[in-house]
Structures are given as C-alpha cells and as structure tokens.
Amino acid sequence: METVGIISLLPIIVALVLSFWTRDALLSLLVGCLIGVVIQGQNIVRGLSLLLQDALGNADFIWVLAIEVFIGILVAFFMKSGAIQAFVDWINGKKLSKRGTEIMAFLLGIFIFFSDYFSPLYVGNVMRPLTDNAKTSREYLAFVCDCTSAPICCLIPFTSWGVYVAGLVVGIGCIADATMGQAAVVGAFKFNFYCWAILILNGLLAVGIIPHFGPMKAAQKRALETGQVYAEGSTPLLSGELDEIKPNEGIKSSLFLDFVMPAIIIIGITVGTYIIIGSARTLEAFICAVMYQFVVMWITRKAKVKEMMDTAVLGIKAVMAAILILAMAYCMNSITKGLGAAAYLIGLTESWMTPFWLLTITFILCALISFLTGSSWGTYAIMLPICLPLAFSLTGGEMGGVVYGAIAAVMGGGCFGDHCSPISDTTILSSLAAGCDHIDHVKTQMPYALCAAVVGVIGYMIMGATL
C-alpha cells in the first residue's frame, strides 16, 4: 500500500475542523476533497470531475443512494396516507411518559437488528413525532438510531457484518473455510467490548440510571424546557418538504394497511432473503414497500397517480441534503484511500504491535482509521490480514483467546468510526432519519462514543495482560 505520508491526513483533518467550525458538513467535505485533488497533483476542475466519477459511479454508492431515495418516498407516502399520525395517535393513547418514549425508541432499534441501514431510517422516522411530543431532543433520537444500528449488527454473528468478516478471515492461520470463519466470528462476539459498552450505555441512559452529560445534556435540557427539539440555527437533514404533505380530507388512515404492512414487507423480505439466499435484499424490500403503498393508496384512497407522483418527488427532495453529504463522504473516502492515509497510519504504528499491546493497539488503530475514513468494512479489509497473523503467531497457529480478541478488536474499532465519524454513511442516515443537524449529532454523540471506546481499551488491556 503506497502513501504520500502525513500529508495524506490533511484533507480529512481540514474537513473535520471545518465541519465543527462552520457547522456545514457539505461545504467542509467539498473543501477537503478539493485539497485532496490538489495534493494528488491534478487540475482542480478535471480532478474533481474524475473524483466524482470514481467515487460515485459504483454499485456501492448507487445502492445506498437508491435506498435513501426510496426511504424518502416511503416516508412521504406515510405522511400522505396519515400512517405516521395514526401510529402517533395510537401510542399517545397508551400515555407513554417521556422516559417510556425514549425506552421504546431504544427497544425498537434493538429489534430491527438485521440491517444497519434500515434500522436508523425506520426508528428515526417512526419515533420522531413521538419524541418531539415528549420534548426529547433530535440529537438524542439520532444517537439512539445510530448506536442501535452498526453496533447491534456488529454483535450478532449472522448479520451481513458477521458474514463479511467471516469471509475476510478465511485462509488466515488455521481458518480454512467459511464455516470456520463463521465459528471464529461467533467466538469473538463476546470480546467486542466497544459495541457492548455503547449498547449498555444507551440502555442505561434510556431508563435514566445514568444521567445525560456533555453536549447531550444541554440538548436534552433545551428540548425539555423550551420544546425546541433541535438547536436554533441548526440545519436538520430532513427539509421542510415533508411538512407540505397532508392527508386528503375525509380519508381515514388504517394503522395496519398503511403502517404495519409496509414494515412487515420490509422486514419479511430483508430477513427472508437473508435466511434463504444468505444475502439481505434491503433495497428490494423498500422498493416492494413503496409499490405496495402506491397501489393501496391508489385503490383504497382513490388517490390520483399525479398526486402520488408529486408526493414521491417531495419525499425525494426531503432527503436531498443527506444524499449530497453522503456523496461528498464517498468522495472523501476515495481521496483518503488514493493518498494512502490508512497505509500511513499502519506504517506509523506497526512496530508497536508487541504481544502485550496487540489487542489494545489493534482496537485504537482500527478506531482511528475508521473514524478518518468513515468506513468500517474498509477498515476490516485492511486490518484483519495484518492483525490476525500476529495473533496466530502467539497461539502457535491455533484458535485461541488472542485470535478471538483480535477479531473482536478489529470489528469493534472499525465500528467506532462507522458509528460516529461525520463522514460515515450510517451516521449520516441517523441524522437524516432523526431530522437532526448532522454536526450537532456528531458533537453530542462523541462523548458517549469515547466513553465506550475507553471501556474497550481497558477491556483489551486486561485481556492482553491475562491471556
């Protein structure tokens, strides 16, 4: 892996500093990308054109883009049919307290464990009206969406995350096939200290055992005392287009047909395809749900086709801010990869990989790489071939606690960045679904993520000392 050295970190550092200073994630990422283009020695206009084609003209980005588009349409149809309001009215009839509403958001995030994309989008869009009524800050809702998505997927061995890691470790040490790879992931999950810590912290905050602290405390206090669920001057990723969508007069929404059935379709297709063919078809699930809602509203609500298409367009406009930020995040990932930022960090710390510090340094390095690149899966692909051979060298080529701990440290460290990096797709999706300013989400979540990371570091230090 080639690298231009310490200068490879400049684009992402500039983008991060500008993000917190200007509170404009899109502009900050664009400036960082332009700096990266200059470092690569390209003409700015031509270089940016090539970067956009390289970073965005691939199946991965198009897949995430399509999911966001259909999510926007689905939410718009929910608004048009009155489904969300019907669900809110039903929950309000249960007279949940503020605490009960926050606990419900946490439990709903855990229940939808099979997709780190679907989970925040579903939980945020469903719970946002309820948490708004309960005077819960959008920042806290975004945190709940975020830390019940990637961390949950990272802990459960048979999600796409576990299958991906199982494939990556095949051929390393004594892991000869995918079955052994899956067994290795199963053996590692209990040592994933970061994901356990952030999940437990989330639950303790929800039930009130641990009080809020840091920027989140101020956000929660603002929402409770003023009813202002997001900060003055902030820019929620959900734009005002959804506020324009109103159900037709005289139309009574069906909670089952308009709200429950789309969820059943999405969950059924996603989980069903994972069980049957081993690959969760998340995008196809959303497409089917949108088609279902279109037909139901056309037949039972007598909605006109043009009216439905106009509603769909408003839904797409509502998620456009998130799409643009996501596009720039993919461009930044491409820049950091091209400049060799990950290779530089690995080369800088590789000599530290002594047996005693192997697990701790692996976790810290993976957390740093994933935070700067916004990619957990990319971190896994880079770090597992480096860390696992070191672990096997300590066990004589056999499976053991060091090997399981190394896999868990890579997964947990990579999840840290995916969970809280401002250029991570799931962080952006959580801001989008909660209707929260993206930088506010990152700032309020960071102290909690760092606390969980400290727990992870301590856990791996103890584990490394006792093995």
Among 109-123, 127-141, 190-204, which stretch is predicted with the lowest mean pLDDT? 109-123
* 216-238 exposure pattern, b = at least 16 Cβ within 10 A, e = fewer: beebbebbeeeeebbbeebbbbb
Over residues 407-411, the mean pLDDT reads 94
Handedness of CA 448, 134, 88, 97 (dihedral sign): positive
Over residues 252-263, the mean pLDDT reads 81
In the prediction, which pLDDT does 253 show? 75
Q: What is the Cα–Cα distance from 345 to 441, expressed in whole angstroms?
A: 27
| pLDDT > 90: percent of the chain | 27
Mean pLDDT of the chain: 84
Over residues 351-365, the mean pLDDT reads 79
In the prediction, which pLDDT does 462 show? 92
Q: What is the Cα–Cα distance from 416 to 362, expressed in whole angstroms?
A: 13
Measured between alpha carbons, how far is residue 227 from residues 53, 137, 140, 279 in Å?
A: 44, 9, 14, 43
List beta partners, residue 437.
236
| pLDDT > 70: percent of the chain | 92
Q: For the segment 226-245, what is each residue's pLDDT rounded down to a tens digit?
A: 989 988 888 787 655 555 66
Q: How confident is the model at residue 50 (pLDDT cuts 50, 70, 90)?
A: very high
Q: For the segment 61-105, what is each residue's pLDDT rounded down to a tens digit?
A: 887 788 778 878 887 888 788 776 777 777 777 778 889 999 999
Q: For the segment 301-345, what is each residue's pLDDT rounded down to a tens digit?
A: 777 888 889 888 888 887 787 678 778 877 887 888 788 876 787
Residue of 186 and 252 predicted with greater confidence:
186
Whether the full predicted model's pTM is greater than 0.85, yes or no, is: no
Among 223-227, 252-256, 341-345, which stretch is predicted with the lowest mean pLDDT? 341-345
Q: How confident is the model at residue 1 (pLDDT cuts 50, 70, 90)?
A: low
- Paired tokens of 42: 């390209």
Q: For the segment 158-180, what is each residue's pLDDT rounded down to a tens digit?
A: 666 777 788 778 888 888 877 78
In the prediction, which pLDDT does 205 show? 96
3-state helix/strand/coil string of the chain: CCCCHHHHHHHHHHHHHHHHHHCCHHHHHHHHHHHHHHHCCCCHHHHHHHHHHHHHCCHHHHHHHHHHHHHHHHHHHHHHHCHHHHHHHHHHHCCCCHHHHHHHHHHHHHHCCCCCCHHHHHHHHHHHHHHHHCCCCHHHHHHHHHHCCHHHHHHCCCCHHHHHHHHHCCCCCCCCCHHHHHHHHHHHHHHCHHHHHHHHHHHHHHHCCCCCCCHHHHHHHHHHHHCCCCCCCCCECCCHHHHHCCCCCCCCCCHHHHHHHHHHHHHHHHHHHHHHHCCCCHHHHHHHHHHHHHHHHHHHCCCCHHHHHHHHHHHHHHCHHHHHHHHHHHHHHHHHHHHCHHHHHHHHHHHHCCCCCHHHHHHHHHHHHHHHHCCHHHHHHHHHHHHHHHHHHHHCCCCCHHHHHHHHHHHHHHHHHHHHCCCCHHHHHHHHHHCCEHHHHHHHHHHHHHHHHHHHHHHHHHHHHHC
Q: How confident is the model at residue 34 (pLDDT cuts 50, 70, 90)?
A: very high
Measured between alpha carbons, how far is residue 23 from residues 151, 244, 443 in Å?
A: 26, 26, 10
Over residues 106-116, the mean pLDDT reads 78
Q: How confident is the model at residue 5 (pLDDT cuts 50, 70, 90)?
A: confident
Over residues 186-195, the mean pLDDT reads 92
